[in-house]
Amino acid sequence: MNLMLPDDCCLGILWGPIFHRWTDILNDVNKDGISVITAYEYSPKCENEDSWNRFIIDCYLSHEKIDNPNVDIESKIQKIHKKIKWEHLDKFNRSLCVFTFRVEDSKKITSVIMKELMVDWGYTHQRIEENRANLESKGHPYEMNIIKDIVRKRFHGDKKLPEYVEGQYAGRKRIMHTPVSLEGCTSLLEFLTLHPHTLEKIAI
């Protein structure tokens, strides 16, 4: 099996702290105009904690340089070190769920998520539109980014997630991760493909 990014697809990652809900999240994404195309448990070959931490850092940097060309690399690395500790990425099996998904019906998924943001999370229409305009002005796919955001909101309160230093909701980013751009998705996939690893297909 090989990792591939089918045409017009986005790339997502689910981290170890939410391992027990990977299938639930995949099913949650795979509806309302979104199709999950492939899903794998990806286990990088990391001999020790240092190499696992380095893998996580490189995983982020592989697309951060694309998504944010002006990023301060050293500052970003320090933030990722804190992320590893605070989000407990160092306390779970050294594996992640790597999946691809395609937007089949943009209008439907956007409508569903916008309604949920306003009803359940108190978002105003203006806030939603400003966020959309900001993403689209940078050429970033709106649907991919709001799907990531809504999944984090839906699953942040899971009782099995370990305590986060600043509160459960603040730690929502450890649940699902995507680059913000399709170019970033390609770059991340290239990194994951080249890093020594094993793959196990996850049934959807």
Q: Is residue 109 in a domain?
A: yes
Domain count, the chain: 1
Q: Is residue 2 in a domain?
A: no
Least confident among 83-92, 140-149, 169-178: 169-178
Going across the sheet that includes 96-103, the strands are 176-177, 9-14, 96-103, 34-44, 197-201
**Is a pLDDT exceeding 80 seen at residue 132?**
yes
Q: Is residue 16 in a domain?
A: yes
Q: Is residue 78 in a domain?
A: yes
Strand 9-14 and strand 96-103: the pairing is antiparallel
Q: Is residue 197 in a domain?
A: yes
Q: Is residue 85 in a domain?
A: yes
Q: Which domain holds residue 121?
A: 9-201
What is the reported pTM? 0.92
Q: Is residue 51 in a domain?
A: yes
Q: Assign residue 126 the CATH number of its domain.
A: 3.30.70.141
Q: Is residue 155 in a domain?
A: yes
Give the other-Cβ count within 10 Å of 70's Cβ: 5
